[in-house]
Amino acid sequence: MDLTLVLQGLLSGLLFGGVYSLMAVGLTLIFGVMRVVNFAHGDMMVWGMYLSYLLATRAGIDPYLSFVVCAAALFALGLLVQHGLVDRVIDAPHEMQILLMLGVALVLENLALVAFGPEPTRVRSPLGAATLWLGPVFVDIARLVTFVVAVLLTAALSLFLYRTDLGRTIRAAADNTYGALVVGIDVRRVYAVAFGVGAACVGAAGALVSSILPFQPPTGLSLSVTSFNIVIIGGMGSLLGALIGGLLVSVAESLGAVFLKPSLKELVSFSLLIVILLFRPAGLFGKRTS
């Protein structure tokens, strides 16, 4: 086995992991605050990708700029889905919420199919061709920028949650919903904001990978599955867990592609999930109870 190849796999995996972290942070935020699993998470991300595709092809805006617009658009979509749909079943049994979110996922995927067809696409960015050699390994500039932006966005989100009044009310509602009602927090509004912010994460993540990862409407399902995997590895509801878990899964997949076959990368990340759950049933940073 060639050591350079391993190093290269490690580096590429780590850099791609920023996007995984960002999408998992969005999912874990939504779950942590309202105990709803967003089964449409990956499909929302695919819409972020197509949006950046449209902005690139129609308006000539590079995805590394348009991610802001995509985040804003997905924030609005998240707000709408929460306010118009999820809110109606928030107190209903879990299977109702699961059915609803699966329905939203189907609608989003098939709308993408109607609008953009089944062919895989990717967005061209001038950054896509640039590489930088670091001794024996190269750094893909697009991946590097994606990584830096994704990590900065995750940091900004945690500043928002831990340093602002609105962020604090979101954490309070996640910690004790009844307690939040008691102190007069408008919990429905908090839910809408949390769902919007969670969706904005995949809006940005989608735009940021749209020039690296070829995508088509069914990509959403595999992105959802990867997001769940990361969130469970990191611990449901834990932001730090999502961040670390995203990097871990991405590195594992990348090394799996080096050591096994690229098509077996999921095997590696699910094996990682099983091993971690054996030793830490609540995930790396999960709380054992509740």
Q: Which residue ranges make up the site for another protein (CB under 8 A)?
A: 165, 168-169, 171-172, 175-176, 178-186
Shortest reach from residue 34's CB to another protein, in Å: 16
CA nearest 23: which of 158, 159, 204?
204
Task: Give the integer Cα–Cα distance in Å for 226 and 75.
Answer: 21
- Measure the CA–CA gap between 142 and 208, rounded to whole angstroms: 9
Residue among 22 and 180 whose Cβ is closer to another protein: 180
Give, in order, the Cα–Cα distances in Å from 232 to each of 101, 172, 202, 264: 18, 22, 18, 20
Looking at the Cβ atoms of 155 and 175, the one nearer to another protein is: 175
Least separation in angstroms between CB 26 and another protein: 20
Q: How far is the CB of 137 from another protein (least distance, A)?
A: 41
Strand partners, 138: 133
Give CA 110 to chain center in angstroms: 20
**CB-nearer residue toward another protein: 190 or 258:** 190
Residue whose CB is less far from another protein, 227 or 238 = 238
Closest approach of another protein to the CB of residue 169, in Å: 7
172 vs 213 by CB, closer to another protein: 172
What's the rounded Cα separation, in Å, for the pair 205 and 202? 5
CA-to-CA dists, residue 238 to 30, 32, 42, 145, 285, angstroms: 11, 7, 19, 25, 6
Least distance between another protein and beta carbon 240 (Å): 13
